[in-house]
Amino acid sequence: MLLVGLQGVGKTTVAMSVAEALGRKFVRISMGALGSTFELRGKSKAFADAEPGQIIKALIKTGVKNPLILLDEIEKAAVSKVYDPTLWPYFLEILDPTKMLFPSQYVDYPVDCLT
């Protein structure tokens, strides 16, 4: 689902209401603060500063495998000062409805978020 509108018109509230109607937990990820794909997908444990990405953190925060995740402020990720052109193909990979597994760099194993 894509919600488009001016700031302050209630897009987040609508997303929260949809989550409540579906009986799913809700979590919001602000994309405006992201500087690279590592923050979204996680950084491999091969690096000293490795940590899970925002998607895995959302699963941990909610305690369920299939929460309603709101990717908020996507347009701000495109105009950030540290724009990462690899971010957009990764968005497509995350949002592809034909894929059943989420590719996490930190976990280094596909995570089944649908069951």
- Please report the DSSP string for 12-63 in residue order: HHHHHHHHHHHT--EEEEEGGG--SHHHHH---TTSTT----HHHHHHHHHT
What single-letter DSSP state applies at residue 82? T
Q: Quick one: DSSP state of residue 109?
A: E
Residue 3 belongs to a domain: no
Angstrom distance (rounded) from CA 99 to CA 89 = 14
Q: Which domain holds residue 20?
A: 11-112
**Is residue 1 assigned to a domain?**
no
- pTM across the whole model: 0.72
> Is residue 5 one of the residues assigned to a domain?
no
Rounded distance, CA 95 to CA 107, Å?
A: 19
Name the domain count of the chain.
Answer: 1
> Per residue in 9-32, pLDDT tens?
999 999 999 999 999 999 998 877
Q: Does residue 17 sit within a domain?
A: yes
User: Residue holding tokens 């929460």?
Assistant: 67
For residue 4, is it within any domain? Answer: no
- Whether the pLDDT of residue 83 is over 60: the answer is no
Give the whole-angstrom CA distance, residue 114 versus residue 55: 13
Residue 69 within a domain: yes
Q: Is 80 among the domain residues?
A: yes
The verdict on residue 35 lying in a domain is: yes
The answer on pLDDT for 102 being more than 70 is no
Tens digits of residue pLDDT in 27-74: 998 877 666 667 777 777 777 778 888 888 888 899 988 889 888 887
